[in-house]
Structure 1
């Protein structure tokens, strides 16, 4: 049962759905009506002449609002929600996603499946071309691996290419991932990705503001993109041609005053043209490593040591070196390699220690807190020799 079932009854949900179904009433107009009347049900009980006094509400809206078909369709969708255990977030509820709350066109109602937990979570959207190249795939997976220590939720559109690469990498790295869909929860598009549905739902889930009778029509993907952009504090475009859905999402994120990042590519590469244009037009920060994102967003990894109180300075990492720190086998292997080789890059450490990048990144963070390694400029690491 959805958490917000307690504060929103089936009758409340029925009228919200009926309001959604009424012609010419989108999310902005629906919020305006609810704010004026107090609830979706009150909108239907208000006199039409009073509704028409609201700016932007005309005769067409009030004449079509109470059509019986709207409630019949709403009842059918309510049955689908109940019969399939679909969760939802209503825009006035306390657990409605905070990022969407600040979007003027954020959905009145968001349906969800899986085990999504967005409370006090950092959220990053990763988007781009459906025709991801080897270059894009490498850097997309590297991005997710390097993000692991900050434990963000990875948001994308569950499409071919960059989307599914990012979401699979998130699952492999133990991160939560959310797929935003351009259709109802009674189907899955593309069909080839049905094999990943259970994995995503176990490590996050799916969101949509589309009803069960709405399929993956072309225009729905553009509407879906506002949720991808709105959920997150940053959107990263991995690869894109001069035109594409990733650029649309970036534009929406930019309009929401959210940070946008783009992976640069070689001049002349088709699927780097869009990213290079974003950077050139100053609509996106250049993304070369996770440290770029961490710096711009002001993320910190502060640590309070026992008996020491807080760090006292935001962004400063306090470590307490010990002569013989406890290290597990993974940390010992990395420490031994750095002791012999000196300064090394994350990728080099992973390669020579024969470990996934995300595992090395996580271990380095733990070792940094133990005071046995230190980060250096240029994304290098070295062992601290006692």
Structure 2
């Protein structure tokens, strides 16, 4: 871990203050520009920031104490080789920044790129059947040519099978923990976790020394969902963590798939129900992912038309869409509709035409970007 800087120090201190959740944290940064500015702001000006309660203002008076706690925590992480990744750090997962309930700080171990080109979440029951384990390995073997980072939770069953298969096929794999990165749970998976550090890693929002609590695990599921471009539920009972993760991913507008199973199997009931309620698409093989995520292999074909010429042929609305996407790099369809002041039905038609011409590309989460 590199030596902490002042920005990291203040952002970590800010995250330690009670009454500050993701929404308030975002608000503070938006209005003041930085954690340092907020902590140094006169009380009268701080009180004018929306969502700032009197209780929070009183906690702010103890900033020296929180800065000291942050400094001590940074020293502990340095000794334990744990990276502290705060919101302004370029390494902070960009996929999490759009979430209203994003973690304010990430603690990590390993060499994993937090912003890989492609990610795939795979979750399922702790009581995996041989069928579920085989399907998990098959999925990872099939996606290996695309080199996605495999995201899961290091739990028994499908999760650990996904991590092991990723290692087998030389894919980076990231475990989102319900404990701190220095406390591997379950401990029986410690050797696999250590192997993952060489090409992947462990991440958590729980700081070293924090108490492990049952509520940590449902909470970490939102990070699995947020980091995944697509989530595949391999096996799941009627209730359980895998279904919670799927529900969250669905609420985030992620691509969610479920592997269909035997109607008489308890651990297929959850997957079959996700498909029935249309909260997940049925997963039948690699082609489903290729189509949903616009995964494609490079081709050696020669373009018959210059891109500039194609852009010149666009109508006025399509040219404006192109200009906005060039400026913004990537936008969700709802944000684009707001900027364009267009009904979604009209905008969707224009986007489809531009996609067919190879000018833009549909991305996970109903986002679009210029090719």
Question: What is the TM-score with the length of structure 1 in the denominator?
Answer: 0.75
Structure 1 or 2, whichever has the larger Rg, is 1
- Where does residue 65 of structure 1 map in the other structure? 60
**Partner of residue 138 from structure 2, selected from 135, 139, 142:** 142
Point out 4+ residue stretches in structure 1 off by more than 6 angstroms: none
Q: Distance in 1 between matches of 2:115 and 2:28?
A: 28
1:283 aligns with 2:279: yes
Count of matched residue positions in the alignment of Structure 1 and Structure 2: 305
- Where does residue 209 of structure 1 map in the other structure? 205
Q: How does 1:143-292 map to 2 (within 5 A)?
A: 143-292=139-288
Q: Distance in 2 between matches of 1:91 and 1:22?
A: 16
Check the 8 A contact 1:154/1:176 in 2, yes or no.
yes
- Where does residue 33 of structure 1 map in the other structure? 28
Deviations 1:166-207 (A, max 9, x none): 000000011110011112122111111112122110121111
Deviations 1:356-385 (A, max 9, x none): xxxxxxxxxxxxxxxxxxxxxxxxxxxxxx
The 1:249/1:33 distance shift into structure 2, 3 A limit, reads same
Q: Distance in 2 between matches of 1:135 and 1:312?
A: 48
Deviation at 1:119, TM superposition (A): 4.5
- Where does residue 19 of structure 2 map in the other structure? 24
| SS, match of residue 103 in structure 2 | coil
Deviations 1:251-310 (A, max 9, x none): 111111111011111213111111111111100010121211211212111222xxx646
1:55 aligns with 2:50: yes
The 1:311/1:62 distance shift into structure 2, 3 A limit, reads farther
Q: Structure 1 stretches of 5 or more lacking a match?
A: 314-386
| SS, match of residue 24 in structure 1 | coil
Q: Distance in 2 between matches of 1:28 and 1:218?
A: 24
Check the 8 A contact 1:176/1:203 in 2, yes or no.
yes
Deviations 1:48-87 (A, max 9, x none): 3322322221111111133254333222211112222322
Q: Could you say what the CA RMSD is over the residues aligned between the two structures, in angstroms? A: 2.0
The 1:66/1:211 distance shift into structure 2, 3 A limit, reads farther
The 1:220/1:203 distance shift into structure 2, 3 A limit, reads same
Q: Distance in 2 between matches of 1:24 and 1:32?
A: 13
1:124 aligns with 2:120: yes
| SS, match of residue 121 in structure 1 | coil
- Where does residue 338 of structure 1 map in the other structure? none
Q: Distance in 2 between matches of 1:303 and 1:123?
A: 22
